[in-house]
């Protein structure tokens, strides 16, 4: 378990961590999610000891490590840009932590081979980092971090430098690895999809503060505020309220729309809009709309529905929210 | 298009002619003159007692200066690249000073500092150590003129490699020293090698600063460079000067070759 209590960190006038308290349960895979400058990387580096904090306490497995250097925190750290030891082979990279600890050669060799097999780099022992792809380098970095049997594994935007396809692959791979190894893992990311995909817990950070902590489903379904809602998943603003684009229902018949809306509590009301564009994104279809008030928003419908309804650019529709987000402050619904 | 291509060709020819005419030709002339009378004459000319003593002295000075500059140069480069220091700009300027100051001025200032009537002149009367007109003076003068090379070659490499590898080593349990030896040193090796080669070449070839602080006695306090000068100017021994110059060049080239070979052997690719 990792506990951070009342951590503060300033860089001159910039507040990187503003009284942050967070508990990360043992064996969990927690994502620190937030935009750049939200303090998520600073928080991770503070847990690692790569960054000091101005005040507050960091403890790992019940031990106060606030004043301990990274060497004595029992951590494994993975950097966004791999931080591969360029002059060492893959084997020497992974063995580094064990060599430093002067473990017997045979044990080192066995452990390194075992880890390389786990991360799928078996047979790459004698390559140099420059001979590996980005994804392979990052898997090597993971093996290197795991070699020292860390109590916690800290990953700083680990897939940020990789292209979309490799990123998705590694994400699933990391999830499977975590299910096997069960080491407490903290992952920093600015990619909400990544957080929702791999993490079992997400802490959303904004401007050096933690906005909400919870499991992916509850964060998505019950966001604590507009920031969390708009950061986790896409949103549309309908009648002054934030709603999920897939919750927007488009009706051609105004009366039907009003009748359905009347049955929906705390709804943002019915907004009359003009279809501007219909974009097919594989399975889903995005209908881009312009409200009579001039505000633009998008609704998301399934392909089947789009095929059935055949929305055309230029036509007028009536939009309502099927299930308004109950988290957002109840703003006065538009008068019908 | 053709005019651009022609101008590019002209520019290339000019640049090559410039390099060849100003650098390669003089060196080739010296080599030609040296070996014109035959190898035996050359060997005889560089085996006189004065020449052997000069060679030994030059190598001794290099052997003292290079390790000192490596240690202090690397530490200074790390300080400049990694530490948060007040007045860093001033230190940068001081490191570059030897490039800006004429070596002869360095010689004069060393005499003013360490000479019999200089600020630290008392050292000689109290301990008997002769700095000016002795080996220490020549070493100090050589250190002064060669100081920037290691710093200036290593510092940009440190900036380039960044701190992530060092941080990664720390998270894996490596102490500061372990990180330095296992991560930092291998990473800066090329810059360091080049800095050492430049230092050796300059230390062997330094004339202005060294002639000021050396008594210049043949066989005692004459470096190889000073020998070339004295043979040519004082002894009117033109051939002897060519031969000594060739030996000097051979030494510098030998160092370059040796360092490259050593590095290739240790380097993985």
User: Which pLDDT band, with edges at 50, 70 and 90, does B261 fall under?
Assistant: confident
**A334 Cβ contact list (under 8 Å, min separation 6):** A239, A240, A268, A269, A270, A271
- From chain A, pick out residues whose CB is under 8 angstroms from the CB of B172: 76, 96-97, 100, 144-145, 147-148
| Coil, helix or strand at residue B102 | coil
Q: What is the pLDDT of residue A331?
A: 40
Q: Is residue A100 less than 8 Å (CB to CB) from chain B?
A: yes
A244: three-class secondary structure by DSSP: coil
Contacts of A83 in chain B (CB under 8 A): 164-165, 167-168
pLDDT score at B269: 44
CA B83, B84, B89, B90 torsion: positive or negative? Answer: negative
- Count of CB atoms within 10 A of residue B131's CB? 23
- State the complex-level ipTM: 0.82
C-alpha neighbours within 13 Å on the C-beta side of residue A295: 13
Instruction: Tell me the sheet residues that pair with A286.
Output: A279, A300
- Kindly report the backbone phi and psi dihedral angles of residue A320, in degrees, each rounded to the nearest multiple of 5, phi listed first: -140, 160
A84-88, B181-185, B216-220, range with the lowest pLDDT: B216-220
- How do the domains of chain B map onto residue ranges? 1-36, 40-266
pLDDT at A154: 96
For residue B265, the model assigns a pLDDT of: 65
Give Cβ neighbours of residue B170 (< 8 Å, ≥ 6 apart).
A50, A69, A70, A71, B179
With residues binned 3-state (H G I as helix, E B as strand, rest as coil), the percentages for chain A, rounded to 5, are 30, 30, 35
d(CA B228, CA A159): 62
pLDDT at A71: 93
- pLDDT more than 70, % of chain B: 96
Cα distance between residue A120 and residue B25, in whole Å: 58
Show the tokens assigned to A89.
Answer: 């082979």
The yes-or-no verdict on residue B171 having pLDDT over 80 is yes
Query: How far apart (Å, rounded) are the C-alpha atoms in residues B68 and B148?
Result: 12
Instruction: Compute the distance between CA of residue B232 and CA of residue B134 in angstroms, rounded to an integer.
Output: 23
A148 at B interface, C-beta within 8 A = yes
CB atoms within 10 A of CB A154: 27
Given the DSSP bridges, would you call strands A296-302 and A248-251 parallel, antiparallel or unpaired?
A: unpaired
> pLDDT for A309-336, tens place per residue?
888 899 999 998 887 555 444 343 343 3
- B167 min Cα distance to partner chain A (Å): 7
DSSP code at position A70: G
SS3 for A104? Answer: coil
pLDDT, residue B131, reads 78
Of B113, B153, B114, the closest CA to residue B134 belongs to: B114
Quick one: pLDDT at residue B3? 67
Question: Using the beta-carbon criterion (under 8 Å), do B169 and A48 form an inter-chain contact?
Answer: no
At CA A254, angle to CA A250 and CA A258, rounded to 5?
Answer: 90
Q: What is the mean pLDDT of chain B?
A: 88
List the one residue out of B137, B102, B101, B100 whose CA is nearest residue B116: B137
Residues of chain A with pLDDT under 70: 324-336
CB contact B89 to A (< 8 Å): no
Task: List, as ranges, residues 122-141 from A with C-beta within 8 Å of B.
Answer: 128, 141
B164 touching A, CB under 8 A? yes
Q: Is the pLDDT of residue B150 over 90?
A: yes
What local confidence, expressed as pLDDT, does residue A15 receive? 93
Is the CB of A77 less than 8 angstroms away from the CB of B171?
yes
* Nearest-angstrom CA–CA distance, B132 and B121: 9
List, in order, residues 6 or more apart from A99 with CB less than 8 Å away: A92, A108
* Helix/strand/coil for B206: coil
DSSP B15-58: HHHHHIIIIIHHHHHHHHHHHTT-HHHHHHHT-SHHHHHHHHHH
Per CATH, domain B40-266 is 1.10.3720.10: yes
- Chain A residue numbers touching B182 (CB-CB < 8 A): 96
- Count CB-CB contacts under 10 A for residue B20: 11
Other beta carbons within 10 Å of A308: 9
Beta pairing class for A14-24 and A271-281: unpaired
Q: How far apart are CA A175 and CA A181, in angstroms?
A: 10
Nearest-by-Cβ selection for A83 from B168, B173, B268: B168
pLDDT at B133: 82
The pLDDT value given to residue A327: 44
Average pLDDT for B162-187: 94
CB atoms within 10 A of CB B3: 7
* Alpha helices (runs of H) in chain B, residue ranges in sequence order: 2-19, 25-35, 39-45, 49-82, 88-100, 103-114, 122-127, 135-161, 164-171, 176-179, 185-205, 208-213, 224-233, 238-266
Of residues B164, B174, B182, nearest to A83 (C-beta): B164
Q: Which one of A69, A75, A100, A154 would you mutate to disrupt binding with B, by most B Cβ within 10 Å of its Cβ?
A: A100
- Residue B84's CB: how many other CB atoms inside 10 A? 6
**pLDDT exceeds cutoff 80 at B72:** yes
Q: Which two tokens stand for residue A91?
A: 């084997």
- Can you give the C-alpha Rg of chain A in angstroms? 24
* Chain A nearest-CA residue for B179: A100
Is residue A270 within 8 A of residue A261, CB to CB? The reply is yes
> In degrees, to the nearest 5, what angle opens at C-alpha B70 toward C-alphas B65 and B75?
130
> Which of A70, A103, A160 is most worth mutating to test chain B (most B CB atoms within 10 A of its CB)?
A70
Which of A48, A87, A149 best probes binding to B when mutated, by most B CB atoms within 10 angstroms?
A87
Percent of chain B with pLDDT over 90: 48
Q: Is the pLDDT of residue B136 over 70?
A: yes
Among all residues of chain B, which has the CA nearest to that of A147? Answer: B172
pTM of the model: 0.81
What pLDDT is recorded for position A103?
93
Cβ within 8 Å, pair B173-A69:
no
Q: How many residues does chain A have?
A: 336
Answer whether A241's CB lies under 8 Å from A321's CB.
yes
Burial class (CB in 10 A: 0-12, 13-18, 19+), A223: buried
Report d(CA A214, CA B134) in Å as an integer. Answer: 77
């Amino acid at each position: 378990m990792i506990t951070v209590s009342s951590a503060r960190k300033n860089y001159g006038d910039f507040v990187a961590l503003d009284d942050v308290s967070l508990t990360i349960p043992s064996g969990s895979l927690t994502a620190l999610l937030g935009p750049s400058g939200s303090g998520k990387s600073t928080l991770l580096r503070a847990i690692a000891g790569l960054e000091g904090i101005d005040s507050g306490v960091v403890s790992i497995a019940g031990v106060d490590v606030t004043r301990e250097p990274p060497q004595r925190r029992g951590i494994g750290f993975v950097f966004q840009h791999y931080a591969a030891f360029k002059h060492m082979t893959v084997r020497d990279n992974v063995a580094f932590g064990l060599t430093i600890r002067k473990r017997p050669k045979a044990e080192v060799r066995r452990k390194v081979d075992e880890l390389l097999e786990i991360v799928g780099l078996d047979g790459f022992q004698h390559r140099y980092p420059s001979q590996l792809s980005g994804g392979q380098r990052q898997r090597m970095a993971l093996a290197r971090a795991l070699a020292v049997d860390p109590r916690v594994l800290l990953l700083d935007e680990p897939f940020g430098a990789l292209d979309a396809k490799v990123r998705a692959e590694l994400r699933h791979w990391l999830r499977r690895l975590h299910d096997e190894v069960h080491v407490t893992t903290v992952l920093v990311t600015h990619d909400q999809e990544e957080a929702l995909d791999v993490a079992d817990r997400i802490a959303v950070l904004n401007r050096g503060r933690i906005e909400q902590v919870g499991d992916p489903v509850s964060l998505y379904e019950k966001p604590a505020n507009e920031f969390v809602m708009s950061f986790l998943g896409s949103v549309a603003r309908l009648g002054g309220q934030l709603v999920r684009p897939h919750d927007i229902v488009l009706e051609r018949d105004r009366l039907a729309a009003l009748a359905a809306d009347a049955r929906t509590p705390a709804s943002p009301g019915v907004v009359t809009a003009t279809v501007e564009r219909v974009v097919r994104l594989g399975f889903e279809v995005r209908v881009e709309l312009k409200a009579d008030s001039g505000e633009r928003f998008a609704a998301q419908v399934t392909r089947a529905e789009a095929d059935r309804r055949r929305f055309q650019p230029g036509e007028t529709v009536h939009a309502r929210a099927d299930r308004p987000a109950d988290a957002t402050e109840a703003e006065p619904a538009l008068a019908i | 298009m053709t005019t651009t291509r022609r101008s590019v060709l002209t520019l290339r020819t000019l640049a090559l002619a410039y390099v060849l005419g100003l650098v390669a030709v003089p060196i080739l002339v010296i080599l030609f003159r040296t070996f014109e009378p035959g190898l035996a004459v050359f060997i005889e000319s560089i085996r006189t007692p004065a020449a052997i003593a000069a060679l030994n002295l030059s190598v001794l000075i290099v052997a003292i200066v290079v390790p000192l500059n490596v240690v202090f140069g690397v530490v200074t480069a790390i300080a400049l690249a990694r530490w948060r220091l007040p007045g860093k700009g001033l230190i940068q300027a001081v490191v570059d000073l030897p490039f800006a100051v004429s070596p002869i001025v360095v010689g004069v200032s060393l005499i003013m500092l360490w000479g019999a009537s200089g600020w630290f002149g008392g050292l000689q009367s109290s301990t008997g150590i002769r700095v000016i007109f002795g080996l220490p003076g020549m070493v100090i003068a050589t250190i002064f003129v060669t100081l920037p090379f290691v710093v200036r070659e290593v510092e940009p490499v440190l900036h380039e490699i960044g701190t992530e590898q060092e941080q990664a080593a720390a998270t894996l349990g490596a102490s500061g020293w372990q990180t330095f030896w296992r991560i930092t040193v291998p990473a800066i090796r090329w810059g360091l090698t080049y800095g050492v080669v430049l230092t050796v070449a300059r230390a062997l070839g330094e004339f202005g600063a060294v002639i000021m602080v050396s008594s210049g006695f043949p066989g005692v306090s004459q470096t190889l460079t000073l020998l070339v000068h004295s043979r040519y100017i004082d002894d009117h021994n033109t051939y002897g000067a060519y031969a000594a110059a060739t030996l000097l060049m051979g030494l510098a080239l030998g160092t370059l070759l040796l360092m490259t070979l050593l590095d290739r052997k240790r380097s993985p690719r």
